[in-house]
Structure 1
């Protein structure tokens, strides 16, 4: 986990008092708070979310799959870092693509980004429902899902202060579990003489590189969090310094945690046969024979799901706010901040209503949809980095050629490669979503007879 730099304490509740001046966010978040936001958004225990699904898909090679995903994400995180310096505004990939390629392309990138942001709170609510139902079978999933949505909505309406405060507790619980889990997993593996390379070689039931890349495409959802940091650019102190640093720290720290958790999970439970792939992690933890650890896992995992829902809903509300402020979406609905709480209340409520679909969805479908939207947005940001620095600013000589052409080019190639490994149904739903966005764009621009509204960066 990360710690504050010397001389930079974690922001206190007083420092995190978010207010709005003339319809704008107040800059109150430092690097530690931004990193904490990103890590809670990603959820350190998210390695267990799709663990059973990817274990069966790859034949027990989840750690290797995470290595592939991390490599791809580091290149893309670097592009986000650089674009957050160029455009330190709320809106993430939407703003970066809009300013580099124009309003129309920016709108479609933002629309694709909305897909994964809308589904991410949903997957967290579904996880809360699944695991709480496992713990209390007499209470159906939907009760837990609706209750979680109501609680998270209230906290998000109150403001970013509530998010920052809750993050500390959530990370603390998960850190305690991770340490205990690793210790007991090592002890279990030592007693059974487990091959230390087994998590990378697999159990032999599935071979080849293809399944690894299919698994990596699914695991992209684990890394959704470094990009969410960029959505807080208008609430960050010295954003051109703190946001890029927080993006890279969040990405690498989370990636290492995911790899370690997947690795020791294979040690603890070297099998891909689960009662339910959706909740396979419960069986993994239970195999260690420590009842209190299973209880702590459920508590930490559910808390993590709530925390991720809290932060992901905060992020998507700010994306909708940015698009509403531009006039791409109706500004009277999406582009206003509540004067009392300083938050985009209407977008928050809209996300809550959409999230009710979690009561009917399945884990694999939501996972793929999140990755579809994310990988499109990631591709656009890599291209925007090339366009802004290499083409528009003409930084092409020496190291600049590597920095502005080669590295974002690698990031783009890797994200497109992962994107093509998603399922056919994912493309049907995802491309349908983009078609709806294109129709909305036609309406807003009156068949392109009017320019697409864009953010006035002089404001």
Structure 2
């Protein structure tokens, strides 16, 4: 191959997809239904963000990384996420199309970068779903144990942990939510609305019950693992903030998305950050940080330690409801990313097939449910939590870079919401996310690199040759499977 031919091939994989072309595929009788109101969208964001970070990850990070300085880790992550949220809000209002960071990368940086971030999001969401399901299992096991129903350790732990063979409750909850999502997003949103309100009530109850039991001595030493532990903890609790990314995956199913998406993204992040800081301060104040080792239900555990057994049981009920809402939104987001990538031809056409009655991507929803259930049932929580965060941080970097690039290359595009202080704020996001990636364990970096290499192999072997970037698609044609001429 000569140099000119090489440049031509490289140019084709870095070509962007115009926003107008992206928007063409969101209409038509076979499109996704626009059913989400501003209130439902905001609760989707709160449902995804608040829950896992409070009810699951706090114990892991406090015991192994941050100690009582867990509150500082949450503040650092919250600041970095605020930078990213403003970038996401600009893109979401400007390109209200399913796919989140994948779609934004396609519009600003080109197909190869869109593929990389889409492949990254597949990892991020899959492992997030598994981690949340493990936390749900921990709280359900704790609740049943308090009621006198003790499940065998072989059925509630992954292989190699406490004599476990398989985490059966995590499989059950993932498959149940998979069925709910197949029925429809409106029905899923209604269920989410109820359990989010229950979740917030339980968190406020925990703060009320536990605040009088705070022992300042438990905050000493404040940074037992030093600043290195605090920043590593911040990188890991990034997992807790992934929800606003999930909000953006619902772009095609939101009423008046240009107005409502920025509100949902930024508003849900603000509420989550305040609650995270409050809970982490109280949690480490009532129980010494090292006591949270190997517990996936830290809030219920803490109340049990201070003798409020009824409160522990109530928190477990609220946590189960809350974590269920996280699973709903994350499973929803994962399926929409597969859907968007398939619609562009980068994944097989089967992933964009819609159910004839429910108008949901049924086959990809089933696939995501089965795969994530297997991950949750076989891997320990800490390994899952570390792996997902590097994917989240990488997504934030690419979205922030896309804002800078698109401001320079397409300043004429209408932007219903504008990220302030460009390029300074996106650059700060890129630098801070890069720093947090550096703080993650080396083994996490290696796993991520292996995943990306595998993704590039898939892209050059399949996706690049099936890309629909140059097809003259409009309206319903966007929904046709290549080669068969049938609407899906």
TM range (shorter): 0.7 to 0.9
| Whole-Å separation in 2 of the counterparts to 1:450 and 1:232 | 25
Deviation at 1:122, TM superposition (A): 1.0
Which residue does 2:192 correspond to in 1? 167
Name the structure 2 match of 1:116.
124
Distance 2:297 2:409 in 1: 48
2:86 to 78, 83, 93: 78
Hey, what's the Cα distance between the residues in 2 that align with 1:427 and 1:45?
23
Structure 1 residues 21 and 216: alpha-carbon distance in aligned structure 2, compared to 1, 3 A threshold: same
Given candidates 27, 35, 60, the residue that maps to 1:28 is 35
Task: State the Cα distance separating 1:458 from its structure 2 match.
Answer: 5.8
Give the conservation status (yes or no) of the 8 Å contact 1:444–1:452: no
Superposition map of 1:305-320 within 5 A: 305-320=323-338
The 3 A distance-change label for structure 1 pair 116 and 50 is: same
Distance 1:445 1:34, change over 3 A: closer
287-296 or 270-279: bigger deviation: 270-279
**Aligned CA distance change for structure 1 residues 45 and 118 (closer, same or farther; 3 Å):** closer
Cα gap change, 1:70 to 1:205, in 2 (>3 Å): closer
- 2:352 is matched with 335
Aligned partners of 2:227 and 2:369: how far apart in 1? 39
Give the whole-Å Cα distance in 1 for the aligned partners of 2:285 and 2:426: 36
Change (3 A) 1:120 1:375: same
CA–CA distance in 2 between the matches of 1:427 and 1:172? 37
1:38-437 alignment runs, 5 A limit: 38-44=45-51, 46-56=53-63, 57-134=65-142, 135=145, 136-139=149-152, 140-141=155-156, 142-189=167-214, 192=215, 194=216, 203-204=221-222, 206-274=224-292, 276-331=294-349, 333-355=350-372, 356-393=374-411, 403-437=421-455
Partner of 2:162: none
1:166-190 deviations in Å (ceiling 9; x for gaps): 112212222221222111222212x
Find the residue that maps to 1:273 and give its secondary structure: helix
**Who is 1:5 aligned against?**
none
Residue 304 and residue 441 in structure 1: after superposition, are their counterparts in 2 closer, same or farther (change >3 A)? same
Consecutive unaligned residues in structure 1, runs of 5 or more: 1-19
Aligned length: 427
Q: Secondary structure at the match of 1:151?
A: helix
Kept in 1, the 8 Å contact 2:139–2:296? The answer is no
C-alpha distance in 2, partners of 1:266/1:185? Answer: 11
Q: Give deviations 1:390-410, integer Å, cap 9, x for gaps.
A: 343279xxxx99632111111
Alpha-carbon distance in structure 1 between the residues aligned to 2:117 and 2:223: 39
> Structure 2: any 5+ residue segments left out of the alignment?
1-26, 157-166, 476-488
State the 1:429 CA deviation. 1.4
Local SS of the residue matching 1:209: helix
Deviates more, 1:107-116 or 1:47-56: 47-56
State whether residues 203 and 271 of structure 1, in contact with CA within 8 Å, keep that contact through their aligned partners in structure 2.
no
Instruction: Please report the RMSD computed on the Cα atoms of aligned residues, expressed in angstroms.
Output: 2.4
Q: Secondary structure at the match of 2:379?
A: coil
